[in-house]
Amino acid sequence: MEASPSNIGKSNKLSKAKKVSNTNDFSLGNSPFVCGWWGSLLTSTSSCCSFPSYYYYFFTFFFCTASSSFPVASQPLATPPTAVPPLYNHKYSRVIISTSAAFGILLFLFFCAMALFKCLGFKLKRRSGVLDSKVAGDEEENKDCSKKFGVRRFTCDEVEKFTMNLSRSRLIAYGGFSTVYLAQFPDSLLGAVKIIDLSSERFQKVYQQELDILLQIQHENIVKFLGYCDNGEEGMLVFEYISNGTLQEKLHGTDARKMSWKNRMAIAFQLAKAIEYLHDKCTLPIVHGDIKASNVLLDKKFNCKLCDFGSAKMGFSSTILPPNSSTNRMMLGSPGYTDPHYLRTGIASKKNDIYSFGIIILELISGFEALSSDSGERLISKAGNILRDASKVAEMVDSRLNGAYDLEEAKAMVSLAGLCLGDSPSLRPSASEILDTITSRIPSIFSLSKNLTDY
C-alpha 193/C-alpha 197 separation (Å) is 13
**Catalytic site residue 290?**
yes
Burial of 35 (0-12, 13-18, 19+ CB in 10 A): middle
C-alpha 17/C-alpha 8 separation (Å) is 14
C-alpha 274/C-alpha 89 separation (Å) is 95
C-alpha 430/C-alpha 350 separation (Å) is 8
Q: Exactly one of 212, 230, 290, 398 is catalytic; which is it?
A: 290
C-alpha 280/C-alpha 120 separation (Å) is 44
Q: Are 418 and 424 in contact (CB under 8 A)?
A: no
C-alpha 286/C-alpha 278 separation (Å) is 5
List the one residue out of 193, 171, 190 whose CA is nearest residue 241. 190
C-alpha 430/C-alpha 433 separation (Å) is 5
List the one residue out of 280, 275, 307 whose CA is nearest residue 420. 275
CA angle, corner 86, sides to 85 and 90, nearest 5? Answer: 120
Q: How many residues does the chain have?
A: 455
Q: Extract long-range pairs of 200-208: CB within 8 Å, 24+ residues apart.
A: 202/330, 203/177, 204/235, 206/177, 206/310, 207/235, 207/237, 208/235
Do the bridges between strand 190-197 and strand 234-240 make them parallel or antiparallel, or are there none, so unpaired?
A: antiparallel
CA angle, corner 357, sides to 356 and 358, nearest 5? Answer: 90
Mention every residue, 6+ apart, whose C-beta is less than 8 A from residue 271. 221, 291, 296, 304, 306, 357, 360
- 108 alpha carbon, distance to own chain's centre: 45
Mention every residue, 6+ apart, whose C-beta is less than 8 A from residue 316. 285, 287, 349
Strand, coil or helix: 356: helix
Task: Please list the active-site residues.
Answer: 290
